[in-house]
């Protein structure tokens, strides 16, 4: 089946959501030895040690979001605005046209609001520009598929859960704007 969305693959490790301002500082597999070795502090090793669907990874003076836990390509589905949307991870999909309606299904909303959904707060950089990349890539030299996102600058809440319906098995990570950068409480 021909895929119509921009599906981002990895070389086997996690995907990464990183602010444009942090992208040049992400070193990927540079100096990577073995992510199972806790002394390996390469960017890629630290991202690989995250085994949940959402995790924060320090990057220079900020952080990035690791989208980990399962293997599968990821696509961004914007929700018509610059302050929310969905990262969908392809696990088993009979027809890509099943994804869009599933993102608006009450069952998915219940899944993302349930107690077992993962949650993580993160911030964009001042520009709001974010990149979805393979965590093994160097930010200065993106070699595999990647996608630029234009988000409203600020703080976001990400929620993640597994979703399954007839012909569809996906991990859904919803992100929603929650505050401006200037309103962060110290």
Does position 107 have pLDDT exceeding 90, yes or no?
yes
Number of domains present in the structure of the chain: 1
The predicted pLDDT at position 68 comes to 93
Within a domain: 19 = yes
**Alpha-carbon distance 113 to 105, whole Å?**
13
Strand, coil or helix: what is 109? helix
52-57-63-69 Cα dihedral, nearest 10 degrees: -30
Does position 34 have pLDDT exceeding 90, yes or no?
no
**Rg (Cα) of the chain, in Å, rounded?**
16
pLDDT mean over 69-87: 90
Within a domain: 5 = no
CA 145 to chain centre: 14
Confidence category of residue 62, pLDDT binned at 50, 70, 90: confident
Confidence category of residue 79, pLDDT binned at 50, 70, 90: confident
What is the domain extent for residue 117? Answer: 15-183
Q: What is the average pLDDT score of the chain?
A: 90
């Amino acid at each position: 089946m021909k895929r119509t969305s921009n599906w981002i693959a990895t070389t086997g490790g996690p995907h990464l959501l990183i602010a444009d301002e942090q992208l040049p500082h992400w070193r990927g597999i540079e100096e990577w030895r073995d992510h199972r070795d806790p002394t390996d502090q390469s960017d890629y090793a630290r991202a690989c040690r995250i085994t949940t669907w959402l995790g924060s990874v320090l990057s220079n003076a900020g952080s990035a979001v690791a989208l980990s836990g399962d293997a599968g390509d990821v696509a961004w589905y914007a929700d018509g605005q610059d302050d929310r949307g969905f990262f969908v991870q392809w696990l088993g999909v009979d027809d890509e046209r099943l994804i869009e309606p599933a993102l608006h299904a009450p069952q998915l909303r219940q899944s993302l609001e349930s107690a077992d959904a993962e949650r993580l707060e993160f911030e964009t950089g001042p520009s709001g520009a974010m990149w979805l990349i393979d965590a093994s890539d160097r930010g200065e030299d993106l070699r595999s598929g990647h996608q630029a996102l234009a988000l409203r600058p600020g703080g976001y809440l990400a929620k993640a859960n597994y979703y399954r319906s007839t012909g569809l098995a996906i991990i859904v990570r919803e992100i929603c704007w929650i505050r401006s950068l200037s309103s962060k409480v110290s």
